[in-house]
Structure 1
Amino acid sequence: MTGSTEASLRVEVLGPQHDRTLFESGVESLDRYLRMQAGQEARKNIAAPFVLVMPDGAIGGFYTLSSTAVDVGEWPVQTVRKLPRYRLIPATLLGRLAVDRRQQGRGYGRYLLADALLRSLRSEIASFAVIVDAKDENARRFYERESFLSFPDQPKKLFRPMADIAELFK
């Protein structure tokens, strides 16, 4: 990438202003995801899709970020020694990354990866809900009064969807 090209690029949160119909990475499942599923997942706070906007406004690539957790037993032993003693370790999931076939081979994949890593460092990730583990019945009742819902088969584990929380702050 040349400096002037890089300066005119921008990565944005996917929105209705982005024309997804012309994007073709050469991987049908990624193309279909961007066209049909990415917006829905963003609205439901399942994934946070970001698009690389080219100087002409076209989408040059995209990626998604979301939160996840990895069982402590899956990490390398030397890494686990440095981690807190939790069964699940929270992480950021870079779920998808693709570059339009017309832009491939120009360094835009690395550009998107660098952007994703920086956003991850800044904790710009999607979250479907806030989850709580009530310590006792009093705590459970408190969270239920605050519109938290119990997980099936786990009455003391509760959640409140992020979309609901967003309504609180409108």
Structure 2
Amino acid sequence: MSGDDVGLDFTIEALDPNGHDRSTFDSGVARIDNFLKRTARKHQASDFTRVWVACCPPQRQVLGYYAINSHTIEAAELPDQLAKSAPRHGAVPGAYLSMVGVERAFQGRGLGRALVVDALRRIETASHTIGIKLAVLDVIDDGGEEEFRRRMRFYERLGFVAFPRRPSRMFIPMSTVRAAIRS
């Protein structure tokens, strides 16, 4: 599992609310932009999420970002094969990739893929300390059906699978992530 060569010399680092410039970030999706500009700092300070940003040092302008946090998934939501192995209480431990956004000027250059791959690597590392069976995300439907389908295909190419009864929610098992990292 590797990020594409995006033609940029960028780093992915923890959001520094006082150091990273988020003010002009524009992904083209208001809720993604608003989260980074207005909510990310508060959620991170309150331990609800961790936000990671891509930037080109020494500049601190955010080119893209993702947010991750712990999550539980009800076994009944999962495909039967995974649900069978769930604990009796029915809650499956996971990590939630709650936001992914890329500045418009850098879209289509592999930065989004690099961000998701980085998130999955961090989640996989955490899975050695705490139980994490799956990484989960919700594909946003802003922008109409065609844009939604494009986003679904993007995540499918990375190994995510749609939940059977909720197609806008997708998951990737940690076993799949580990196999991709090893290859």
TM-score normalised over the length of structure 1: 0.67
Asked if the contact 2:68–2:98 (Cα under 8 Å) also holds between the matched residues in 1, the reply is yes
Among candidates 80, 101, 104, match of residue 98 of structure 1: 101
Counterpart position of 2:56: 54
Counterpart position of 2:88: 85
What amino acid is aligned across from residue 13 of structure 2 in structure 1?
E
What amino acid is aligned across from residue 33 of structure 1 in structure 2?
F
What amino acid is aligned across from residue 20 of structure 2 in structure 1?
H
Counterpart position of 2:42: 40
Residue 52 of structure 1: how far off its partner (Å): 0.7
Q: How does 1:12-161 map to 2 (within 5 A)?
A: 12-15=13-16, 16-55=18-57, 56-123=59-126
Q: Which has the larger radius of gyration?
A: 1
Residue 9 of structure 1: how far off its partner (Å): 1.4
Residue 62 of structure 1: how far off its partner (Å): 0.5
What amino acid is aligned across from residue 39 of structure 2 in structure 1?
Q
Residue 105 of structure 1: how far off its partner (Å): 0.8
* CA-to-aligned-CA distance 1:24-63 (integer Å, 9 cap, x gap): 1011111111011000000001111110112443211011
What amino acid is aligned across from residue 37 of structure 1 in structure 2?
T
Q: Runs ≥4 in structure 1, deviation > 3 angstroms?
A: 1-4
What amino acid is aligned across from residue 104 of structure 2 in structure 1?
R
Counterpart position of 2:166: none
Whole-Å separation in 1 of the counterparts to 2:121 and 2:5:
21
Asked if the contact 2:70–2:96 (Cα under 8 Å) also holds between the matched residues in 1, the reply is yes
* CA-to-aligned-CA distance 1:74-129 (integer Å, 9 cap, x gap): 111111223333321111000000100011110001000000000110118xxxxx
What amino acid is aligned across from residue 54 of structure 2 in structure 1?
L
What fraction of aligned residue pairs are identical, expressed as a percent? 30
Residue 2 of structure 1: how far off its partner (Å): 4.0
What's the Cα RMSD here? Answer: 1.7
Whole-Å separation in 2 of the counterparts to 1:69 and 1:80:
13
Whole-Å separation in 2 of the counterparts to 1:3 and 1:110:
9
